Amino acid sequence: MALTAKVKKTINNGLRFVIALLALWFIYRQVSDPANLFAFTDSLTARLNSNGFFALIIIALLLMPLNWGIEAYKWQLLINFAERVSFKHALMSVLSGITMSLFTPNRVGDLLGRLLTLKHANPLKGAFLTIIGSISQLLTTLLMGMFALCFYIPYYQDIENEIHLGGYILIVVLLILTAVVMVSMFLRVSRVAGLTRAFIRPGWQKVRGYLRIMRRLRRRLLLKVLVLSAVRYMIFSTQFYLLLLAFGFSIPWFHAFILISMTYFTMTAIPTIALVDLGIRGSVAIYFLGLYTVNSDNASLAILAATTSVWVVNLALPSLAGMLFIYRLKLIRKV
């Protein structure tokens, strides 16, 4: 039975309200967690009057709109192949996606939040294009992690004897070859889609149509998307580094980049939802960044405070902003 416009509007409003409540509840659960709250307040009290504390916090905050602005532009470049959207629309869609991502496994709500703001695009076509953007960010994280691993092993592992040195050289060669293959495959998405299309039955017109969109993605565009992903990666890594300094964890930039990259690299292999994501991020960050210092207690507090702050700046605050645009979500469409 078809739903009337009034019923669909009522259901949409109800679902939007539930999404907002869930997002608020998850944010509250995260920031009120005793371990996170203690580390944050304790480090904040200790560093409040230190030189440069507020300057570092402000710079980290100012980088947040740049981070998500670049993500919105990247998504706009891709989604325009399915539906023309303005940068403003793209930014509101990205923020809505962040709101929905908080309480979904591996943040799949981010994909839904973006697609549900589109008016005309076929959802599956939009999903294909959005996933390409997500793959570019994942690929960047993996590439940066592999690059960091090349330095992590000699700096933080023992490779003094010849056998270990030979193994290290082999690892570096394999990492380089893997990186080249992954980048080449990403930049040849259109060719891969063309080859796949040849194996699709002629009767499966919808599937062939989705692959046709993929074939329109030229290498130059994909390279641009990959570069934008790399810029985003450097931005949120810099935010993490600035917040580490703000909370008193003194570490040279290069070592911080290695250990932060290893943290993100490891996190990509751990399936999570945002409710437990902060605790896992804190544990992984403490493990890697803790390798740099022997003052484990103070270092752990500073790392956990910085991790909590990064989460608040890059997820909690944007998700609150995203709640302003939940009214754009079309959760119940034409039946």
CA distance 93 to 85: 10
pLDDT attached to residue 211: 63
Per the model's pLDDT, the better-predicted residue between 12 and 231 turns out to be 231
- Give residue-wise pLDDT tens across range 167-224: 889 999 999 999 999 999 898 876 766 555 555 555 545 555 566 677 778 889 999 9
Confidence of residue 1 (pLDDT cuts 50, 70, 90): very low
pLDDT(46) > 60: yes
pLDDT recorded at residue 219: 87
Ranked by mean pLDDT, the top range of 27-31, 156-160, 201-205 is 156-160
Looking at per-residue pLDDT, the higher value among 115 and 105 belongs to 115
pLDDT tops 90 at residue 19: no
CB of 332 closer than 8 Å to CB of 13? no
The residues near 271 (Cβ < 8 Å, ≥ 6 apart) are 105, 106
pLDDT, tens digit, for every residue of 236-291?
Answer: 999 999 999 998 898 999 999 999 999 999 988 776 554 456 667 878 888 899 88
> In this predicted structure, what is the pLDDT of residue 281?
80
What is d(CA 181, CA 12) in angstroms, rounded to the nearest whole number? 44
Rg (CA), the chain: 22
* Predicted pLDDT of residue 285: 87
Tell me the C-alpha distance between 209 and 120, whole Å.
16
Whether residue 151 has pLDDT greater than 70: yes
pLDDT at 334 over 60: no
pLDDT, residue 198, reads 56
| More reliable by pLDDT, 328 or 289 | 289
Dist. CA 109–CA 329, nearest whole Å: 12
DSSP secondary-structure letter at 106?
A: G
Q: Tokens 């909690």: give the residue.
A: 316
- Prediction pTM value: 0.86
102 neighbors 26 (Cβ within 8 angstroms): yes
Per-residue pLDDT, averaged over 128-152, amounts to 93
Average pLDDT, the chain: 81
Q: Which of 36-40, 51-55, 225-229 has the highest mean pLDDT?
A: 225-229
CB neighbour burial string for 279-299, b if at least 16 within 10 angstroms, e if fewer: bebbebbbebbbbbeeeeeeb
Q: Is the pLDDT higher at 34 or at 118?
A: 118
What SS3 class is residue 326?
A: helix
pLDDT of 84 > 50? The answer is: yes
Region class of 277: left (phi > 0), else alpha (psi between -120 and 50), else beta: alpha
